[in-house]
A and B are shown apart, each in its own frame.
Chain A
Amino acid sequence: MKLITEINQKDNSEQSIEDSELYLDKIYEPNLRKLLSKCYQCVRCSGVCQLSKVQSFVPSVIIQRILEGSEDKVISSGVLWDCLTCNSCLQNCPEDINFADIVRNAKYKMKNYYKQNPEQFVAHKGIYTTISEILSEPYIQPNKNLDWVPKECKISDKGDILYFVGCIPYFKFEFQEVDPIPISSLKIMCQIENRPIVVLKDEVCCGHDLYWGLGNFEAFIKLAKKNYDLFEKSSVSTIITSCAEGYRTFKVEYPKLFEDFDKKFEVKHIIEYVYEKLKQGKVELKAPDESDINIQFTYHDPCRLSRFLPKSNNLLEKLREIFNILEGLGYSFKEMTHNKENALCCGVSSWMNCNTRSKALRYSRLLEAKEAGTTLVTSCPKCIMHLSCLQKDYDDLSSIEIKDFSEFLVNLIHVIDSENNGEVKS
């Protein structure tokens, strides 16, 4: 018998290490100065930085320091862990300097070369990020519970259209608010489609939080590979998700890793999907009942959909068009003071930095929401969780009803012509 101290740590991953280094080059840029060189210190970023409203954090000074050659000092001070990666600065930068992306690269450095431990910044003691890390391991094959799937929906593990559930089944551990999201999204989809929708039992996390939050790129790559293989195995061509972070990761990040990702798979947010079906005349929206007519709703734009997508992606315009139709039917929609690209941050990004400062940000967001309406619609499970978490602490905000887009729309949709056959369903 071997001594317990000499446990054989089998490493079958010699080759896969090299492999992941290959991928790492595609998403990691160690030379921060190169990324910043165009900055001419106009200081606009510091003016709009959402974090600077609640703590002293001045992106332009950080940039200047790095350009002057004190990168080492900036990184070792760990100040960059605080950035919300909300991208408000990029939105206003005349030189298109992507500060959030620089923070992401710096996080990888801070973690791997400066041995800083981000644990103290991770919310919920890192349960959810640890889950993602465990899921990334090759020997783990998740076995997600599919009991939530509505009875009338047909699902399968092979087919054209996949609904990507994401991490919501795990969030149930502490957040019940997000339960209805997959249910109503799937309901919408299977009302429209006449074929079974692919929902996978062994689907893994998209890796967003490890990528933006913890700087654990290795695990992100492993997750991406796992997802890619899964999608390929189930021979899907369209991936639909109701998660803002997942959508962006598939749309922007995965194609960087796999050149053929966007050729093989078409990624759609449920907003896009509903919009297309509306345009094709496959569905229509119902006029409100007596009871609904007084509902005034507003929309919180998640940063991942508003500021993080390429300019050509007009997802939010499509959404506003859907809202226009609803308004025409008699619902009342009102924008918050800060909307679209200028939307305020929900306060926490990638499970990092949930603290009193981020609560202040969330508080001001909910105050705006309260002014604009009684129902707050959004399209990001995390925004829902973070905002409704704050509601528990403040009675004056508890009257706002926070809903996901799909949850809001599921009962307002009327299918005229379901695909592949002409029968009318309601």
Chain B
Amino acid sequence: MTKAVSQVEKEDFEPYILVFCCNWCSYAGADLAGVSRFQYPPNVRIIRVMCSGRVDPAFVLRALKNRADGVLISGCHIGDCHYISGNEYTRDRFERLYNIIIKQLGVNEKRVKLEWVSASEGKRFAKVITDFTSEIKELGPLRK
């Protein structure tokens, strides 16, 4: 096991990133990013869910187990949820997942993230993905 990822490896490394987008805001935001031709790295796989509240913490853990290098959950801004309060549950659940499980698990905390992106924020979606990807690249592969 190598502790520090060498520079060469880091440049070579293309992370696997899993993104959960809610149907009403973030997925539409991703669409808008595409339609408006904002570029973002192709390392992400997007899974569309009806609401960010659908994302069970087990999905995140299973992604990490099955060699995802980072997981991003994205939903409508608080107050904008299509189902009124779905994202509030996500927020609370994510907080617990983050503090109780991810932090104690020995997986770098930066690998799991929650972001709110609305349907009009195509540009922001591209930025969120670009930033997250470069962060994960910096961290190197989870499975060393």
Interface residues of A (CB under 8 A from B): 1-2, 4, 7-8, 12, 124-127, 130-131, 133-135, 137-145, 169-170, 172-173, 202
Contact = CB atoms under 8 A, between A and B. Distances in A.
Interface of B: 1, 12, 14, 16, 42-43, 56-59, 61-62, 64-65, 96-97, 100-101, 103-107, 142-144
Nearest to A144: B104
A204 B1 CA distance: 18
Contacts of B42: 4
State the 8 A-B residue pairs at the shortest beta-carbon distance, nearest first: A125-B58, A142-B106, A130-B61, A127-B58, A139-B144, A141-B106, A173-B100, A140-B106
B26 to A, nearest CB: 22
A131 B101 contact: yes
B106 A202 contact: yes
Given A142-B105, A143-B106, A125 B56 contact: yes
Per DSSP, chain A at the interface is loop
B62 A130 contact: yes
A145 B57 contact: no
Given A139-B1, A145-B104, A202-B106, A130 B58 contact: yes
A131 B101 CA distance: 8
Contact of B14 (A2, A125, A170): A2
A141 B142 CA distance: 12
Most buried by B among A1, A126, A139, A142: A139
Given A139-B143, A143-B103, A173-B96, A124 B58 contact: yes
15 contacts: A1-B14, A12-B1, A124-B58, A125-B58, A125-B59, A126-B58, A131-B105, A133-B65, A139-B1, A140-B106, A142-B106, A145-B104, A169-B100, A170-B101, A170-B104
A134 B57 contact: no
Nearest to A3: B14
Contact of B143 (A2, A137, A143, A170): A137
A131 to B, nearest CB: 6
A142 B65 contact: no
Contacts of A130: 58, 61-62, 65
B43 to A, nearest CB: 7
B119 to A, nearest CB: 27
A139 B142 contact: yes
A404 B71 CA distance: 37
Per DSSP, chain B at the interface is helix
Given A140-B105, A173-B101, 18 more contacts: A2-B14, A4-B14, A12-B1, A124-B58, A125-B58, A125-B59, A127-B58, A127-B61, A130-B62, A131-B105, A134-B61, A134-B65, A135-B105, A135-B106, A143-B104, A143-B105, A169-B100, A170-B101
A31 B104 CA distance: 40
Contacts of A141: 106
A1 B11 CA distance: 8
A332 B62 CA distance: 47
A125 B59 CA distance: 8
Nearest to A4: B14
Contacts of A124: 58
Contact of A173 (B1, B14, B43, B57): B57
A142 B104 contact: yes
A145 B61 contact: no
B43 A145 contact: no
Contacts of B65: 130, 133-134
Contacts of B59: 125
A127 B107 contact: no
Contacts of B58: 124-127, 130
A7 B16 contact: yes
A202 to B, nearest CB: 7
Given A2-B14, A4-B14, A7-B14, A172 B105 contact: no
A138 B97 CA distance: 22
A200 B101 CA distance: 17
Contacts of A137: 143
A144 B102 CA distance: 10
Contact of A134 (B43, B64, B103): B64
B99 to A, nearest CB: 9
A126 B142 CA distance: 21
Contacts of A145: 103-104
Nearest to A8: B12
Contacts of A7: 14, 16
A127 B14 CA distance: 27
B13 to A, nearest CB: 9
A131 B43 contact: no
Contacts of B1: 12, 138-139
A173 B106 contact: no
Contacts of B104: 142-145, 169-170
A175 B42 CA distance: 39
Contacts of B64: 134
Nearest to B45: A4
Nearest to B97: A173
A124 B57 CA distance: 10
Nearest to A125: B58
A194 B86 CA distance: 51
Contacts of A142: 104-106
